[in-house]
Amino acid sequence: MSRVYNFSAGPAVLPEEVLKECADEMMDYKGCGMSVMEMSHRSKVYDEIIKEAEKDLRDLMNIPDNYKVIFVQGGASLVFAEVPMNLMKKGKAAYIITGQWAKKAAQEAEKYGEVVRVASSADKTFSYIPDCSDLDIPEDVDYVYICENNTIYGTKFWELPNTKGHELVADVSSCFLSEPVDVTKYGVIYGGVQKNVGPSGVQIIIVREDLIADGPALKITPTMCDWKIQAENESLYNTPPCYGIYVCGKVFKWIKKMGGLEAMKAHNEKKAKILYDFLDQSKMFKGTVEKKDRSLMNVPFVTGNEELDKKFVAESKKAGFENLKGHRTVGGMRASIYNAMPIEGVEKLVAFMKKFEEENS
């Protein structure tokens, strides 16, 4: 069976080159006689794998030396709790609500301290990013939190909020490594890797070391959620998600080979333009996001007719386009076009959409 075009929001498409390398090394990694799935995380071979992965990530993102990189188990939903546990030293944080995941992160943080919702786009079903240039942020908050790219609703912060001098914490799960980033503008950048970087089960946390120098804000913080401990042990406090980190390392090298994050951004802009240009002229399909806030990674769209949406999803699947059904909370369709989605996949999707429109008008 030939491979389908996988438009899943996550777990998502991975580079074929990476998958083939992993397959080639499955039984014997570089002559060590075993799979990465089998080897000890304390072995010299694995130590080289995880250290090289961190080095390549630092190179790609130009991560300064005063930021720690942590690879640990779980996904972004676990970090919803880790953020307040590690950073809420004054017991208060500001959250900007631009979708389901920021909303859930705020609800989780309320278990550990006071949450002030300083902006929201809920009034228009999260179809835009609110103006964050002059927010009413209390002086005593520990941080300002955003979900930078909203997977479900297809919006993106193209301009970071004015935090009024407070630390910015960003969940970048669905835009991780899709474009260049100035790490110094953030106190913390984190994400689950299963959308744009690797297989599910790994989270990457990039945190400025002074924020964790004294340990977590809350004494109740579990050891496994203590960023200082994880950083001091170089992500090897316990058995990490070894194979997932290994795959992430392969993806980092693939991005480097492709030309780095500038090249990734150009690649992603080209793909997104093909799809958005079609949506803007189509009489049947419509995008659901304000143009200025459109994501390059996640593109939601509708026909305006629920039955027609269902028909499109069913027929697209038969044609080899997988996972185009929108999130259960919003319906419609969504094409997630992460780094590893080839331009050819988007071109073929648009050709299919044109054909569907002609046949169902």
Tell me the angle at which helices 16-24 and 242-258 cross, rounded to the nearest 10 degrees.
130
For residues 138 and 287, state if they share a domain: no
Residue 6 lies in a domain: no
Q: Return d(Cα 130, Cα 32) in angstroms, integer.
A: 53
**Beta-carbon contacts of residue 65 (< 8 Å; ≥ 6 apart):** none
Of the three residues 209, 229, 257, the one that is the final residue of a domain is: 257
Catalytic residue set: 101, 171, 195
**Beta-carbon contacts of residue 89 (< 8 Å; ≥ 6 apart):** 142, 217
Of the three residues 226, 241, 257, the one that is the final residue of a domain is: 257
Phi, psi of 265 (to 5 degrees): -65, -45
For residues 170 and 309, state if they share a domain: no
Number of domains observed in the structure of the chain: 2
For residues 351-357, give the mean pLDDT: 98
User: Looking at residue 338, which CATH number applies to its domain?
Assistant: 3.90.1150.10
Note the pLDDT tens digit of each residue in 215-225.
999 999 999 99
Token pair, residue 308, equals 């027609």
For residues 82 and 230, state if they share a domain: yes
For residues 239 and 281, state if they share a domain: no
User: Are residues 333 and 302 in contact, defined by beta-carbon separation less than 8 angstroms?
Assistant: yes
For residues 329 and 209, state if they share a domain: no
Mean of pLDDT over the chain:
96
Residue 7 lies in a domain: no
Q: Return d(Cα 287, Cα 130) in angstroms, integer.
A: 18
For residues 165 and 57, state if they share a domain: yes
For residues 139 and 270, state if they share a domain: no
Token pair, residue 331, equals 């319906």
Amino acid present at 288? T
For residues 247 and 231, state if they share a domain: yes
Residue 193 lies in a domain: yes
Q: Return d(Cα 231, Cα 235) in angstroms, integer.
A: 6
Q: Return d(Cα 169, Cα 167) in angstroms, integer.
A: 6
Q: Strands 143-147 and 149-150: what pairing?
A: unpaired
Provide the b/e sequence for 236-265 (b: ≥16 CB within 10 Å).
bbeebbbbbbbbbbbbbbbbeeeebbeebb
Categorize the per-residue pLDDT at 172 as very low, low, confident or very high, splitting at 50, 70 and 90. very high
For residues 151 and 98, state if they share a domain: yes
Note the pLDDT tens digit of each residue in 89-109.
999 999 999 999 999 999 999
Residue 11 lies in a domain: no
Give pLDDT, residue 74.
86
Note the pLDDT tens digit of each residue in 68-89.
999 999 888 999 999 999 999 9
Q: Which residue, 10, 104, 94, is CA-closest to 297?
A: 10
Residue 21 lies in a domain: yes
For residues 280 and 251, state if they share a domain: no
Note the pLDDT tens digit of each residue in 183-196.
999 999 999 999 99
For residues 28-54, give the mean pLDDT: 97
Give pLDDT, residue 46.
97
Domain hosting 289: range is 260-360
Task: Name the CA radius of gyration of the chain, rounded.
Answer: 21
Of the three residues 231, 257, 283, the one that is the final residue of a domain is: 257
Categorize the per-residue pLDDT at 1 as very low, low, confident or very high, splitting at 50, 70 and 90. low
For the chain, the distance separating the N- and C-terminal CA atoms, rounded to the nearest angstrom, is 33
Percent of the chain with pLDDT over 90: 96
Categorize the per-residue pLDDT at 328 as very low, low, confident or very high, splitting at 50, 70 and 90. confident
Residue 8 lies in a domain: no
Give pLDDT, residue 327.
84
For residues 111 and 250, state if they share a domain: yes
Note the pLDDT tens digit of each residue in 265-310.
999 999 999 999 999 999 999 999 999 999 999 999 999 999 999 9
Among all chains, which residue has been given the structure tokens 């143009």?
291
Categorize the per-residue pLDDT at 330 as very low, low, confident or very high, splitting at 50, 70 and 90. confident
Categorize the per-residue pLDDT at 168 as very low, low, confident or very high, splitting at 50, 70 and 90. very high
Q: Return d(Cα 94, Cα 336) in angstroms, integer.
A: 29
Q: Report the phi/psi class of residue 131: left, alpha or beta, with left for phi > 0 and alpha for psi in -120 to 50.
A: beta
Residue 9 lies in a domain: no
Q: Strands 286-287 and 298-302: what pairing?
A: antiparallel
Give 269-289 as a DSSP string: HHHHHHHHHHHHH-SS-EE-S
Token pair, residue 284, equals 């049947």
Give pLDDT, residue 211.
98
Residue 286 lies in a domain: yes
Q: Return d(Cα 249, Cα 46) in angstroms, integer.
A: 12
User: Looking at residue 199, which CATH number applies to its domain?
Assistant: 3.40.640.10
For residues 4-17, give the mean pLDDT: 96
Q: Return d(Cα 72, Cα 238) in angstroms, integer.
A: 9
For residues 352 and 284, state if they share a domain: yes
